Amino acid sequence: AQKITQTQPGMFVQEKEAVTLDCTYDTSDPSYGLFWYKQPSSGEMIFLIYQGSYDQQNATEGRYSLNFQKARKSANLVISASQLGDSAMYFCAMREATSGTYKYIFGTGTRLKVLA
Amino acid sequence: GAGVSQSPSNKVTEKGKDVELRCDPISGHTALYWYRQRLGQGLEFLIYFQGNSAPDKSGLPSDRFSAERTGESVSTLTIQRTQQEDSAVYLCASSSTHRGMSQPQHFGDGTRLSIL
């Protein structure tokens, strides 16, 4: 069974508008971390934002925020004021605390295209 | 530099040859990961090293694939008797295991492997 699901293979957004990229996850571990990465066409993986399962507040990093809905097991990435440079693949990932492993599970990604 | 370093950046080889890919993690990072990314696809987990523990090899697709790590430093991924289906970008990442769950993975630029 998929532990991380990204249902949007591709998204378009107009420059300067906000966009939400969906991510749902499946775990029975009460302690876990959720990560978002950006992969531009150049190929490097760039860490964007982190949300811990016990964090009371939604994480924010500049124009990135994470809409964390624990009961729904969703961790959607919100990008505000989209820029052309935001065009990239975006991956959601999860790390579970079970057995102390530092293994990460990635979703299949969402390709975002920002339109001028 | 201070980042994860992978070499070579590109490798073209004939079907049936063996290849060795190298990863230098960030100094002090005890966890090291290898992923495969086929064109336009997500990240496929291959193997994970954590300190002196036995590596998690659950993602290796066949016995043609193997990886080693020397202590908490360099890792090599070896693919024997390469097949055309092995053509992909191989990404290495490392992470710290201090300060709990919030540690992101730091990725190298990858090795683009092409099998003729």
Which tens digit of pLDDT belongs to each residue from B13-49? 999 999 999 999 999 898 999 999 998 888 999 999 9
Q: B104 at the A interface (CB within 8 A)?
A: yes
Q: Are A53 and B102 in contact (CB under 8 A)?
A: no
Local structure of B16: helix, strand or coil? coil
- The pLDDT, as a whole number, for residue A97 is 76
Local structure of B114: helix, strand or coil? strand
Element housing A69 (H / E): strand A64-69
Local structure of A42: helix, strand or coil? coil
- The pLDDT, as a whole number, for residue A15 is 97
Least confident window among A44-48, A68-72, A97-101, B84-88: A97-101
Q: B95 at the A interface (CB within 8 A)?
A: yes
**Span A50-65, average pLDDT:** 95
Type of residue found at A21? L
Distance from CA of A14 to the nearest CA of B (A): 23
| Chain A residue with minimum CA distance to B92 | A45
- C-alpha span between A22 and B113 (Å, rounded): 31
Element housing A107 (H / E): none
| Chain B residue with minimum CA distance to A105 | B45
**Span A102-115, average pLDDT:** 92
Q: B33 at the A interface (CB within 8 A)?
A: yes
Task: Tell me how crowded residue B99 is: count the other CB atoms within 10 A of its CB.
Answer: 7
With tokens 């971390």, the residue in question is: A33
Type of residue found at A88? A
Distance from CA of A46 to the nearest CA of B (A): 8
* Closest to A25 measured CA to CA, from A110, A109, A105: A105
Q: Are A112 and A14 in contact (CB under 8 A)?
A: no
- The pLDDT, as a whole number, for residue B103 is 83
Q: B91 at the A interface (CB within 8 A)?
A: yes
- C-alpha span between B93 and A93 (Å, rounded): 14
Are the Cβ atoms of B42 and A44 closer than 8 angstroms?
no
Are the Cβ atoms of A50 and B102 closer than 8 angstroms?
yes
Are the Cβ atoms of A106 and B43 closer than 8 angstroms?
yes
Considering chain B, what percentage of its residues have pLDDT values greater than 70? 97
Backbone angles phi, psi at B100, to 5 degrees: 70, -145
- Partner residues linked to B22 by β-bridges: B7, B76
User: Which residues does B69 contact at the CB level (< 8 Å), separation at least 6?
Assistant: B32, B49, B55, B75, B76
- The pLDDT, as a whole number, for residue B51 is 83
